[in-house]
Amino acid sequence: MKFTFTFFGNELRVQILDLYRTNCKLTHRACCLKVGKTSLIMSLVSEEFPEEVPPRAEEITIPADVTPERVPTHIVDYSEAEQNDEQLYHEISQANVICIVYAVNNKNSIDKVTSRWIPLINERTDKDSRLPLILVGNKSDLVEYSSMETILPIMNQYTEIETCVECSAKNLKNISELFYYAQKAVLHPTGPLYCPEEKEMKPACIKALTRIFRISDQDNDGTLNDAELNFFQRICFNTPLAPQALEDVKNVVRKNVSDGVADNGLTLKGFLFLHTLFIQRGRHETTWTVLRRFGYDDDLELTPEYLFPLLKIPPDCTTELNHHAYLFLQSIFDKHDLDRDCALSTDELKDLFKVFPYMPWGPDVNNTVCTNERGWITYQGFLSQWTLTTYLDVQRCLEYLGYLGYSILAEQESQASAITVTRDKKIDLQKKQTQRNVFRCNVVGMKGCGKSGVLQALLGRNLMRQRQIRAEHKSYYAINTVYVYGQEKYLLLHDVSDSDFLTDAETICDVVCLVYDVSNPKSFEYCARIFKQHFMDSRIPCLVVAAKSDLHEVRQEYSISPAEFCKKHKMPPPQAFTCNTVDMPSKDIFVKLTTMAMYPHARLRCMCACNRCTFCICQNFLNSDLLQSVKNKLFTAVLNRHVTQADLKSSTFWLRASFGATVFAFLGFAMYKALIKQR
């Protein structure tokens, strides 16, 4: 006889197959060759031995709340006397675990386990995904001995056999245990974890547990100390370990593994030994609990649900990391910055990404974010790259945070809690304020005009350092922090294509940087044409940058000069820029670009390039559309409501006017002081 458990979604379906062909004319009492599979089912359900046993039991459903694993279980009795071989083969193909039942007092039934039923099952299943088998010795109440001596060689011969249970349907011995082990074989299979022939864990299991160890080793010292072990115990099993229990665990490891404990902490070798011990002692559900808590499925692969949690992003919204995510990434950086130089060396970066299945960052990242003089990614560059990934490809960011174990270490439901979805940009424009921290600037210009120099200048690299960049390591993005009115913001520069027409994706940004080469007479024409085609009628602010300003400036072959063009289209005047400097290039244009992205409604027109001096601040404020609008409305209201022709000739009017001018000057001076203090 055979039990077949088939797992459908969140349910466990159990088919009971009669593997002994019987003559249907025989009465139940005469069927002495039966091993009692139907009696086992009925004893489980009624908790008493049935006096009358039908040839085949009706389908039975065990609710989830009465099973240890809280999985609903369907038990279907299959009889070979009533159903054909095709139905038997179909049930085998649908099964997740099979329980082969034999009678402990019938040697013939034991022999048929190996002579017929295991070969039959293996013929109908794939070699690489053999079904777990459970041997069930029924009628143990009829003998005073155990069949285990006979069964153990069979278990050693067939690695797909999970365990053997001796039971009795008559006195209810081990009935519930039988179904518990059957469920356990489905939900906590031994096959993916352990190789009985080698008596060691399989490589995939070792790889998964090694990643879990690295994530749990929060100080990266190569051992799990008591605090880390307690945290691990709590997040996996919802309960901490008592101090004595911790010592007992470490003592077991010390006795069996020479280097399993170091500095009173559990090493990776000791951690793997413990899980091997759990599996060998039949407690592989412990290992599976750990694996599933860290996102693994039955094939020891991280599940899509774990790596890519649901995150809804409405149109015209962007994605940013929140404060908790930055704190987590800061802890990750500190964990792997072993020499405490605020930069990650090549080896330190490789060590950080050991919990990834592949190396996620290529050499172009070093030319996208800030590095130190040795080319190592700095702390600021590390956070900038994560900010860039979140903005451009949030799904990849969720995947990366999953590999790092964000939801486990931060004790959050998923990585989605690390992401802030900004509000619609149209709402920002209506309210004339934004809460976003990342702003995208598309850098437009013809080939050779100096766009790459602008991108690298954002990272503080002059022309000499830029010449050291290999062509194959070139990046079309650059991101760094910029301070605007005391607020730290991220400016993301994107070098778009130099084709005659930009794609829709290349026009989506917060601000546009139009770059032309002052030494090339044909350079500005391209910027003017792109501006008229895509940005003249849009609400995206634009800034013209006169690159290579250290070279001799030539007259541009365009109908009007760049300065006149900017004045005509109400843009700030062209900003002179060069990266051919001894020290770091000036960051004035980046402050201005970020300011324009933050306040696109203001259309600020600074008279110089710094945007930081007192003159620039006041000039921006006085020339802003907001202040001009308030001034015009106030002037109109005063004239329409309070001023008559007679008032204009009276001394009282001029007294009131003088008083108003004094108040306005006082308020202006107070605002000036506030701005200076903020700067």
Q: What is the pLDDT of residues 343-376, one digit of tens each?
A: 999 999 999 999 999 999 999 999 999 999 999 9
User: Which residue(s) pair with 361 in the sheet?
Assistant: none
Q: Evaluate whether residue 328 is within a structural domain.
A: yes
Q: Which of 584, 618, 586, 583 is nearest to 604 (CA)?
A: 618
Please say whether the beta carbons of 569 and 530 come within 8 A. no
| Residue range 619-662, pLDDT digits in tens | 566 556 555 666 566 555 544 544 444 444 455 655 666 666 67
In the three-class reduction of DSSP (H, G, I as helix; E, B as strand; rest coil), residue 479 is classed as strand
For residue 31, pLDDT over 70 is answered with: no
Four-residue CA torsion sign, 88, 89, 93, 97 = positive
Distance CA 216, CA 355 (A): 11
Domain count, the chain: 5
Burial of 78 (0-12, 13-18, 19+ CB in 10 A): buried
Judge if 150 and 209 occupy the same domain: no
pLDDT at 184: 81
Distance CA 535, CA 514 (A): 11
Average pLDDT over residues 183-205: 85
Distance CA 216, CA 228 (A): 7
Judge if 36 and 91 occupy the same domain: yes
Judge if 536 and 571 occupy the same domain: yes
Ramachandran category for residue 263: left, alpha or beta (phi over 0 → left; psi -120 to 50 → alpha) = left
pLDDT at 268: 97
Q: Evaluate whether residue 530 is within a structural domain.
A: yes
Q: Evaluate whether residue 616 is within a structural domain.
A: yes
Pairing of β 133-138 and β 97-103: parallel
Tokens of 308: 């890519």
Tokens of 608: 């110089």
Judge if 527 and 508 occupy the same domain: yes
What type of residue is 601? H
In the three-class reduction of DSSP (H, G, I as helix; E, B as strand; rest coil), residue 61 is classed as strand
Judge if 296 and 348 occupy the same domain: no
Please say whether the beta carbons of 421 and 314 come within 8 A. yes
| Residue range 449-506, pLDDT digits in tens | 999 999 999 999 999 999 998 888 999 999 999 999 889 999 999 999 888 888 888 9
For residue 45, pLDDT over 60 is answered with: yes
In the three-class reduction of DSSP (H, G, I as helix; E, B as strand; rest coil), residue 7 is classed as strand
Distance CA 515, CA 522 (A): 12
Q: Evaluate whether residue 648 is within a structural domain.
A: no
State which residues form the domain around 133: 24-187
For residue 549, pLDDT over 50 is answered with: yes
Judge if 44 and 157 occupy the same domain: yes
Q: Which of 91, 160, 86, 150 is nearest to 122 (CA)?
A: 160
Distance of CA 451 to the CA centre of its chain: 33
